[in-house]
């Protein structure tokens, strides 16, 4: 990995923990293979895009394990450092989400004192991380939730701006906004929101099917 490959300034300081309802930020539709390849070449924009794509996935795991937001921030930073070091050795970019979940879960368990004496050098890392995750009865449930949430984020990020905003305002904000507020925000007639909502949700369902969402 090129020594010049460093997080963008906004990422170099301790990041604020993303709120659960933070709007989904659209990112270029690069595959993980392309993102990894460009990161290894020293493309700082690719590194920023890779973190943008997966930062909520990483943050969500320590929160689900009951850790504090400060602990989640520390784990996020640790995972980013390890990711930066491991990218050149990542054989299968499609396995990146699973790798991130396993590494993050492992760090969560260490933070909870459940894996403090794990012999890190004694076995294959992938097997090791699977074994650590299996020691926690919440792991399967947590990982399924995290995977589904990531697929939902990625699907929403591909939507056209108006549909993405409408879905966020009606379904991701708490409390959800009224039709009048949504119409005012998007510059639409209030009576048209129901129709547009249905059309956007159909597009979202179609996109989720492409992501294997069940």
Location of structure tokens 């070091």: 85
**pLDDT reported for residue 130:** 45
For residue 103, give the nearest of 123, 133, 73 by alpha carbon.
133
Q: Are the beta carbons of 189 and 197 closer than 8 angstroms?
A: no
Q: Given pLDDT bands bounded at 50, 70 and 90, which one contains residue 95?
A: confident
- Mean pLDDT across 108-121: 63
Q: What is the mean pLDDT of residues 175-195?
A: 92
Render pLDDT for 165-174 as a digit per residue (tens, 0 to 9): 999 899 888 7
On the question of pLDDT at 211 being above 70, the answer is: no
Q: Which two tokens stand for residue 180?
A: 């009048």
Query: pLDDT at position 2, please?
Result: 37
pLDDT digits (tens, 9 = 90+) for 126-157: 444 444 444 454 567 777 888 888 888 888 88
Query: What local confidence, expressed as pLDDT, does residue 29 receive?
Result: 66
- The answer to whether the beta carbons of residues 42 and 5 sit under 8 Å apart is yes
Average pLDDT, rounded, for the chain? 77
Burial of 53 (0-12, 13-18, 19+ CB in 10 A): buried
The proportion of the chain whose per-residue pLDDT surpasses 90, expressed as a percent, equals 34
If one compares 158 and 51, the residue with the highest pLDDT of the two is 51
Q: CA triplet 205, 105, 91: central angle to 5 degrees?
A: 75
- In 95-170, where does DSSP find H-type helix? 96-111, 125-134, 139-157, 161-167
In the structure, what pLDDT confidence band is assigned to residue 19 with cuts at 50, 70 and 90? very low
d(CA 25, CA 154): 10
Query: Residue 143 is encoded by which pair of tokens?
Result: 């990982």
What per-residue confidence (pLDDT) applies to 200? 93
Whether cis (ω within 30° of 0) applies to the bond prior to 181 is: no
Residue with tokens 């009048």: 180
| Whole-number percent of the chain with pLDDT over 70 | 73
Q: Is the per-residue pLDDT at 198 higher than 50?
A: yes
48-77 per-position pLDDT tens digit: 999 988 998 999 899 888 888 999 999 999
pTM, entire model: 0.61
Structural domains in the chain, sorted by start = 20-158 (1.10.1740.10), 159-214 (1.10.10)
Distances 159 to 59, 153, 207 between C-alpha atoms, Å: 23, 10, 9
Average pLDDT over residues 105-111: 87
Query: What is the structure's pLDDT at 126?
Result: 46
């Amino acid at each position: 990995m090129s020594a010049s490959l460093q997080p963008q300034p906004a990422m170099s300081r301790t990041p604020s923990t993303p709120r659960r309802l933070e709007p989904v930020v659209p990112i270029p539709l690069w595959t993980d293979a392309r993102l990894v390849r460009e990161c290894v070449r020293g493309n700082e924009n690719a590194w920023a895009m890779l973190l943008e794509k997966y930062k909520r996935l990483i943050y969500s795991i320590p929160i689900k394990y009951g850790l504090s937001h400060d602990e989640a921030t520390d784990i996020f930073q640790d995972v980013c450092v390890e990711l930066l070091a491991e990218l050149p050795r990542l054989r299968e970019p499609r396995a990146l989400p699973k790798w991130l979940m396993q590494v993050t879960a492992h760090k969560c368990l260490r933070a909870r004192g459940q894996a403090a004496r794990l012999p890190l050098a004694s076995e294959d890392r992938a097997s090791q991380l699977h074994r650590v995750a299996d020691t926690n009865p919440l792991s399967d449930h947590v990982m399924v939730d995290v995977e589904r949430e990531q697929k939902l984020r990625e699907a929403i990020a591909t939507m056209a701006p108006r549909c993405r905003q409408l879905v966020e305002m009606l379904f991701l904000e708490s409390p959800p906004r009224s039709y009048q507020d949504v119409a005012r925000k998007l510059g639409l007639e209030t009576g048209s929101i129901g129709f547009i909502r249905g059309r956007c949700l159909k597009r979202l369902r179609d996109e989720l099917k492409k992501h294997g969402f069940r």
